[in-house]
Amino acid sequence: MKFLKNITKENLPVHIAIIMDGNGRWAKKKGNKRIFGHKNGVKAVKQTVEAAGEAGIKYLTLYAFSSENWNRPKIEVDALMTLLISAVKNETENLMNSNVRVKAIGNISALPESVTENLNQIINKTKNNTGLTLILALSYSARNEITNAVKQIASEIVSGKIKPETINENTISDRLYTHNIPDPELLIRTSGEYRLSNFLLWQISYTELYFTDTLWPDFKKEDLFKAIYDFQQRERRFGKTSEQIKAKN
């Protein structure tokens, strides 16, 4: 089945988030080093960004590097940083031509200066683009993000800027990295792992989860379309009954 032509424009997920997993295993299967998997992972990123644009998705968040990933061997961390820099440099023109706006979430200041410089350049250059918004989660940890929001709220209470009784869900959402981004409606994880790995924990309360055994470097346009198609077959109830949802349509 060709999934793209079976996707309806009316019911597209506005925001898709992806946990790109399986680069290491993909390389191992081919008798290669882990970094070979990451290099091919970048190719899958390109395919996915293009596919998201073609399908009319507005926001795509990619978990490119978690806070926990700093604990990997230095050689792998360094190689991932180098890959990030080269991907950002090599893709700037393409992303401009495709009207993609790049953003980053996470503890960006923890990244090497060479990465932040290139990242800030692409963010600035693409900031007025109006097509897909591509959000790179880098040195990202959801618990850390929520903890920082709590700290900020606490200091705003101390300074008298907000009162404890006025705190609601928006008080928290507004202080997350994603404050101006709608919550993901679809979360994809590749490589047959069924975990959230500290990714967007607040934002995915009502997100549809999609797991595939495909290893990230093998993830192609058609895989994204298939996930979107699968999403469109689901009934999203938000705590209501199926009858209530059907009566509304």
Q: Which residues are catalytic?
A: 21, 69
Residue 21 in the binding site for ligand FPP (CB under 6 A): yes
* Nearest to ligand FPP of 7, 79 (CB atom): 79
* Nearest to ligand FPP of 216, 231 (CB atom): 216
Residue 106 in the binding site for ligand FPP (CB under 6 A): no
The CB-of-126 to ligand FPP minimum distance in angstroms stands at 14
In the window 122-141, what residues touch ligand FPP (CB under 6 A)? 136
**Ordered strands of the 186-189 beta sheet:** 101-105, 133-140, 59-66, 15-19, 186-189, 208-211
Q: In angstroms, rounded to a whole number, what is the distance separating the alpha carbons of residues 185 and 172?
A: 19
Residue 25 in the binding site for ligand FPP (CB under 6 A): yes
* Nearest to ligand FPP of 33, 175 (CB atom): 33
Residue whose entry in the numeric block shows the structure tokens 């999609």: 210
Q: In angstroms, rounded to a whole number, what is the distance separating the alpha carbons of residues 38 and 189?
A: 16
User: Whats the size of the chain, residue-wise?
Assistant: 249
Q: Give the largest CA-CA distance in the chain.
A: 60
Q: Cα 134 to chain center, whole Å?
A: 8
The CB-of-11 to ligand FPP minimum distance in angstroms stands at 27
Residue 178 in the binding site for ligand FPP (CB under 6 A): no
Instruction: Give the list of residues 6+ apart from residue 219 with CB closer than 8 angstroms, or none.
Output: 20, 44, 47, 48, 190, 212
* Nearest to ligand FPP of 46, 58 (CB atom): 46
Phi, psi dihedrals of residue 212, rounded to the nearest 5°: -135, 145
Site size toward ligand FPP (CB under 6 A) is 19
In the window 30-89, what residues touch ligand FPP (CB under 6 A)? 38, 41-42, 45, 62, 64, 69, 83-84, 87
What is the end-to-end Cα distance of the chain in Å, rounded? 28
Question: Where do contacts with ligand FPP occur on this chain (CB under 6 A)?
Answer: 20-25, 38, 41-42, 45, 62, 64, 69, 83-84, 87, 136, 191, 216
